[in-house]
Amino acid sequence: MDSQIEPLSAPDVAQESPSRSGRGPGRPTLSNEALLDKALDIFLEKGFEGTSIDAITAAAGVAKRTVYLRYGDKTTLFRAALERAIEEWIVPVETLQAAESDDLEETLLRIGQILVANIMTRAGLRLLRITNAESVRMPEIGAYAYRHGTGRTLVYLADLFRRRVKPGGRELADADEAALAFLNLVVGGPPSMALSGVELDQAEIDRHTRSAVSLFLHGLLPREASGEERETALAGPCGAEAQDLRTLEAENRRLRTLLVEAMLEAAALKEGRSSD
């Protein structure tokens, strides 16, 4: 496989006559979207190396010639299927922006709920599984998914924290780290459990999201501060007042420690599951 996965332009779809497609007169050929969706299911089930064009065409009910006319080879088909899955999966930044309100905690809860619901869909979990399965052998897959999916969300979240969290009236110094922490703590839990075989109902997912948002947000601010002081640290239309930066930094260190411990525990569980 090529060392880099580059975005694909729309495939040059040949117009197939009934005699060439093998599907008979009056029977439409499978759409590109349906073919790519079915191909991704087979790639997930069998892995890239274990998947053949024959298996894909049999599952999709199309002639092998159709696949070769549209995509040329298995690698190009895999690229196109993965690219479509990522583009279908990502939440547009405009959707996250529309969830913002004057209440930062409510804003983060809404954003967390949107992202968690999106990744817990069949398409979201399928994309996680296939990138996890293939990224070790083909790291460019994980890099592509990050650039076109997670990376965009992180940029938005970092900007949100710079605009809305202003300890001491100053811009948050580690907004990029805060964005990553938010995804790990708030969004990462339910899909990690789902991939490990743990079934979660909607009430459990909602409880996790609310608790994780609260832990994340109040870990950024001094617990000792009064309600009024804590309110003014969340930059809104009225600005922010001074805060004790040393206390804030201590809380940040504590939060990072919790996150590292949680990530190490998750990695250990995943490693143990892989070795079974």
User: 87-116 burial, b if ≥16 CB within 10 A, otherwise e?
Assistant: eebbbeeeebeebbeeebeebbbbbbbbbb
* Residue 246: per-residue pLDDT: 53
Radius of gyration (C-alpha) of the chain in whole angstroms: 23
Does the predicted TM-score (pTM) go above 0.85? no
Is residue 11 assigned to a domain? no
Asked which of 64, 86, 108 is the last residue of a domain, the reply is 86
Q: Are 34 and 162 found together in one domain?
A: no
C-alpha dist (Å) from residue 21 to 15, 16, 42, 125: 9, 6, 22, 33
Residue 115 and residue 212 share a domain: yes
pLDDT for res 183: 92
Question: Are both 221 and 139 inside the same structural domain?
Answer: yes
Give the dihedral of Cα atoms 188, 194, 197, 199; nearest 10 deg: 130
Residue 66 sits in the same domain as residue 110: no
Q: Say yes or no: 181 and 227 in one domain.
A: yes
| Contact call for residues 118 and 207 (beta carbons, < 8 A) | no
Q: Which residue has the higher pLDDT, 204 or 79?
A: 204
Summarised one tens digit per residue, pLDDT across range 23-40 is: 444 334 567 888 888 888
Please identify which residue in the block is written with the tokens 């994780």: 212
Same domain for 107 and 229, yes or no, is yes
Q: Residue 139: is its pLDDT beyond 80?
A: no
Quick check: is 12 in a domain?
A: no
Tell me how many domains the chain contains. 2
Q: Which CATH number goes with the domain that contains 74?
A: 1.10.10.60
If asked whether residues 44 and 148 sit together in one domain, one would say no
Encoded amino acid at 141, one letter: I
Domain that holds residue 112: 99-275
Look at residue 18 and tell me if it is in a domain. no
Whether residues 153 and 201 share a domain: the answer is yes
Alpha-carbon 229 to chain mean position: 34
Residue recorded with tokens 């894909």 = 56
Is 215 found in the same domain as 247?
A: yes
Count other Cβ atoms within 10 Å, centred on residue 6. 10
Say yes or no to pLDDT of 11 above 70: no
Question: Does 7 fall in a domain?
Answer: no
Is residue 54 a part of any domain in this protein? yes
Q: Is residue 144 part of a domain?
A: yes
Residue range 108-128: mean pLDDT, rounded? 90
pLDDT digit string, tens, across residues 209-267: 999 999 898 875 555 554 555 555 555 544 443 344 555 556 666 666 666 666 666 66
Asked if residue 199 has pLDDT above 50, the reply is yes
